[in-house]
Structure formats: C-alpha cells, structure tokens
Amino acid sequence: MPHAEIADIVWCINNLLRQDQRGPEVARLLQLLVQLLRQRSQDQGVQHACCATLGVLVREDPRLGSILVQLEGVPLLMETFRRARAGGHDAAELASECLCALASLAHGSAQQAQVLIHCGVADVLVQCCLEPNSDCAEAAIWALGALSGIPCVVRTMVGNPSCVGLIRGGLDVISELAGQANSTEELEVLPEVLRLLLDILEQMMAPEPAINCRKKCVEAVCSTLLGLAPHLDPGQLPNLDKAVDGMLSVQARYLAKDWDVEIAEKALETLGRLALLKSSWKEHLRGRGAVQALSARIDNATEHRRLLKYAFWTAAALSGLEFVCNELQRHLRSAETIDAAFCTIIDILDDDLEGDWVLK
C-alpha cells in the first residue's frame, strides 16, 4: 500500500481517538503503530501520523504508556526525532510530534518519566531548547516540563531568552504546573519564576515587543500567584503583591480586542480564587479597591456575557450576596447583567462558589 494511503488511514484513526471513540483493541493498535513506525522509517508522512497517534493513545492511559515502553517505544521515538532533526525545517512537524508523544509518556506516570530520563531524553530536550532558532523548542520545553518540572524549565528559558517558541512553550508549562506546585523544590523556585514572568510581561507591554504572547504570560503569572498565595500573606513577597495589583489594574483597561477580554477573564478568576484561599488575601483585595474595580467592570462588560459572569463570581467570592444584590438592583434594565447576577446568586445559595464548574 502506498505511503500516502497508510498515513491517511492513521490520521483517520487519530481523529476517532480524539473524539474518545476508543475500543478494547487500543493495545493492539498501539503495537501496530510501533511496528509501522519501524517499517516505514523512510516516509515522513507515515512517521508523522504514527507519532501523533501514539501521543494521543498514551496521553490519558498510563497502561498504554507502559506497553509502549515495553515495546522499546522510547528509543524508537528518540531515533525518529534525531532523523527528523537531521531533515531540517521540512521535518519540524515530525520532530515536534515525537516530543509531544514523549511528553505524554512523562505525564502518564513517574515510572515512565524515569525511563525517559534513563534514556537521556531530558538532556536531548534541553539541547534542543538552547539551539538558536530551534523549530521544535516549543514542543521540547513542554516535554521537558512534563519530565523535569518547573525549575528545569525556568533555567532553560533563561538560557535562551530570545527564542519565541521556547518562551511560548515555557509559559504554557508554568501555567500548567505552577498552581499545583507542592514539592519543596518547586515552591522555593516560584518567587524567582514570578520575578521572571513580571519582567517578561513588562517587556511585552512595549509598543513593538520582540516576543508578543501577553495572554500566555498573564496566565502563567496567575498560575504562579495561586501557587504562592496559600503559603504567604500580603506584604511578605513584594512581587506577589505587585502581581495582585496587576490583576486588579486589568479591570480598568479598555477591552479593545478579544484577547483583552480573555486576559480580563483570567485576572478575574484569579482574584476570585485568591479571595477564597485565605481571609488575609480577601481583606487585602478589599483594601486595594477590588470591590470598586469589580463594580466598574460589571458596568462595562454587558457585551461580554462570559466576562460578566466572571465579574459577578469574583464579586461574590470577595463580598458575598449583598454586593451581588446591590449590583443587580443597579442594572435592572440589562438582561445580560440580570442573568449573570442570578446565576451567581444560585451558586451562593447552593454554596458552590468554589466548584470549578461554576465558571464553565
């Protein structure tokens, strides 16, 4: 069968897997993909489809990841990656898919992550990230985050600060991991992570920044803020207080573009979760004018229903039912505001403000 037809079939399988259409034959499918990857090593199209589909298979199933390891899938993926790197820019997508499959393995279990480390994957990832103009730095830093955590990711970002893909991918890793930090090593590095992020964000506020992914940077700041806040009170870390003030100042900005709205939503969610974490942070936010900022945001967010919902939810986390009712009374002619207010009132009465689903 021609290479192109085989690749098309594998991509069809990939699409079905992404739609959660999995059957009991997935283990056998994984074996066939590994076999195919070995046999069709000279065709990039087949390799690309196989690596992408292997990544989908093992992403949420450690059992399948274990089977892939037993089939010597890690050395196979690494060899495929090396050949793709040697192929230059034309094989960049294949190289990235190899790294994504390795990242999925690392996410699967600590045992699988150790296998990757033993095979030298971490060193290869760091080398890839530090190369000038690397085509797959974004995928490499994501895999490195899954394998070695935030400290290694931050060191690597500092080592190549002009690489756009590296910074973008590093911000994604921090967004994913910082808010869940619990080890001593991770918590000790978070203040330095926050300082780095605030510096990057300041650079991105320039008229024509060299790297412009402000939304990703704000998300990383928010995650780091929520990782630090349970362990600190206001005033103990100046950069943490600065980050909180930054989330408040976002609510005073004009919503010129879609990503302005998304940044405002993320900032509101972070402020609400911060208020729910500790009474000291709730009082700090009130003292910094959060109530007034939320009221102003409710006034100008009627065209953005999701943002309005976030504003009311954060207001409820900060000031409770009385504030929500007062805002409702001020906006009795706005159907959107009434809807958002009543949704929040229901959440309050059901004692469900802390549930992740309320902002969906």
Residue 356 carries which DSSP code? Answer: G
Q: What pLDDT shows up at residue 351? A: 64
Query: Does residue 136 sit within a domain?
Result: no
Query: Does residue 96 sit within a domain?
Result: yes
Taken in order 100, 105, 110, 112, the sign of the CA dihedral is: negative
pLDDT at residue 41 greater than cutoff 80? no
Query: Does residue 316 sit within a domain?
Result: no
pLDDT at residue 85 greater than cutoff 60? yes
- Section 98-117 average pLDDT: 89
Instruction: Enter the tokens of residue 102.
Output: 């390795």
Query: Does residue 8 sit within a domain?
Result: yes
Provide the domain count of the chain: 1
Q: What pLDDT shows up at residue 102? A: 92
Per-residue pLDDT tens digits for 112-169 = 889 999 999 999 999 999 887 778 889 899 999 989 989 999 999 998 888 889 999 9
Instruction: Enter the tokens of residue 174.
Output: 């921090």
Q: What pLDDT shows up at residue 298? A: 87
Per-residue pLDDT tens digits for 196-211 = 999 999 988 877 787 8
Query: Does residue 355 sit within a domain?
Result: no
Helix count and strand count (H, E) for the chain: 18, 0
Q: What are phi and psi of 354, to 5 degrees?
A: -85, -5
Q: Which of 80, 165, 69 is nearest to 117 (CA)?
A: 69
Please give the full DSSP string across 276-333, using - where no structure is assigned.
HH-HHHHHHHHHTTHHHHHHHHHHH-TT-HHHHHHHHHHHHHHHHHHHHHHHHHHTTT
- Interatomic CA distance for residues 189 and 198, integer angstroms: 15
Longest dimension (CA), the chain: 70
Q: Which domain holds residue 1?
A: 1-119
Query: Does residue 112 sit within a domain?
Result: yes
Query: Does residue 2 sit within a domain?
Result: yes
- Section 169-184 average pLDDT: 92
Query: Does residue 213 sit within a domain?
Result: no
